[in-house]
Amino acid sequence: MVDRRENTCKACEGTGMLADDEEWQYTCTVCGGDGIFHPGDRAEPSGLINVDENNRMLD
């Protein structure tokens, strides 16, 4: 059995969501929103991220 804590995304702490300083919440770009980061996964997003003029993500 795999220990889930071992693969928990450290960026979002397993929630799948991130928040900025104004508490806008958005999908974690590291794990893709599932809260799990497996060894060998890429930490970079697969494509460009759409943002507004204040650099807030638009999902």
Phi-psi group of 49: left, alpha or beta (phi > 0 → left; psi -120 to 50 → alpha; rest → beta): beta
Strand 25-27 relative to strand 17-19, pairing: antiparallel
Where in the sequence is the domain holding 33, given as residue range(s)?
1-37
Q: Could you tell me the end-to-end alpha-carbon distance of the chain, in angstroms, rounded to an integer?
A: 34
What tokens does 47 get? 């494509």
Q: Work out the pLDDT band at 4, boundaries 50, 70, 90.
A: low
**pTM (whole model) above 0.85:** no
Please tell me the total count of domains within the chain: 1
Instruction: Tell me the pLDDT tens digit for each residue of 24-35.
Output: 888 888 888 899
Residue 54 lies in a domain: no
Instruction: Give the pLDDT band of residue 9 (cuts 50, 70, 90).
Output: very high
Query: Residue 6 pLDDT more than 60?
Result: yes
